[in-house]
Chains A and B, each alone.
Chain A
Amino acid sequence: GAVVSQHPSWVICKSGTSVKIECRSLDFQATTMFWYRQFPKQSLMLMATSNEGSKATYEQGVEKDKFLINHASLTLSTLTVTSAHPEDSSFYICSASGWGADTQYFGPGTRLTVL
């Protein structure tokens, strides 16, 4: 149980384009989903928290207009990187937790490369 998927697993795009990453909970209802960013050989940094049907809460320093998060259903959250630039290249990981749950389960991550 507690399986989270992400799609795509990797994506290469040109500078200035937008990229959408999907995060799905496959066998449970994810009332809360989280988006993290991980640079090479570094730890995970929380970008934002989203509750189903509500606006996402962004961490300080994360541009909400650049990283659009939608959590329209209990099994799907999306992260859209708008007008991507090379400095947005990173590994993006989502996680999900159920109602009242304290444990997060992680997706396999998406490697974004912006040329």
Chain B
Amino acid sequence: AQTVTQSQPEMSVQEAETVTLSCTYDTSESDYYLFWYKQPPSRQMILVIRQEAYKQQNATENRFSVNFQKAAKSFSLKISDSQLGDAAMYFCALYWPGGGADGLTFGKGTHLIIQP
């Protein structure tokens, strides 16, 4: 079974500052994908960033970047120059395409608050 753990139920950061959200996971597979999704109050799930496990290079999307440590099974999200629109629930998710049910395994989420 695969598990995803987000140990920070809530994080708060000043606008324009940098914040890092933690995520650890457990899987016995070697080829998988990791994602960060954002869920604002509208509840629409929005893809923030994805990482292929076979790639050593950390993914980056504008102000969002990850620190992927495969051996440690860690996948943290760094948000630089935080903006008010970044306020949302952030979910870390794991996907392994080889299983019978190919859905995402989500962590419990981190509520990110942006202080103006």
A: residues with CB less than 8 A from B are 32, 34, 36, 38, 42-46, 48-49, 57-59, 91, 93, 95, 102-106, 108-109
| Chain B interface SS verdict (over half) | loop
CA distance A57 to B101 in the complex (A): 6
Question: Does B64 touch A at the CB level, under 8 Å?
Answer: no
For the complex formed, measure the closest distance between the CB of A83 and the CB atoms of chain B, giving whole angstroms: 24
| Chain A interface SS verdict (over half) | strand
CA distance A109 to B89 in the complex (A): 15
**Would you give 20 A-B contacts (Cβ < 8 Å), ordered by A?**
A34-B102, A38-B43, A43-B106, A44-B45, A44-B104, A44-B106, A46-B101, A46-B104, A57-B100, A59-B101, A59-B103, A93-B43, A95-B104, A102-B97, A103-B35, A104-B103, A105-B47, A106-B44, A108-B43, A109-B43
Besides A45-B106, A106-B37, A108-B42, 20 other A-B contacts (C-beta < 8 A): A38-B43, A42-B108, A43-B106, A43-B108, A43-B109, A44-B91, A44-B104, A46-B101, A46-B103, A46-B105, A49-B101, A102-B33, A102-B97, A104-B95, A105-B47, A106-B44, A106-B45, A108-B43, A109-B43, A109-B45
B: residues with CB less than 8 A from A are 33, 35, 37, 42-47, 50, 52, 91, 95, 97, 100-109
Across the interface, which residues of A come within 8 angstroms of B108, CB to CB?
Answer: 42-43
For the complex formed, measure the closest distance between the CB of A105 and the CB atoms of chain B, giving whole angstroms: 7
- Whose C-beta in chain A lies nearest to the C-beta of B108? A43
For the complex formed, measure the closest distance between the CB of A37 and the CB atoms of chain B, giving whole angstroms: 11
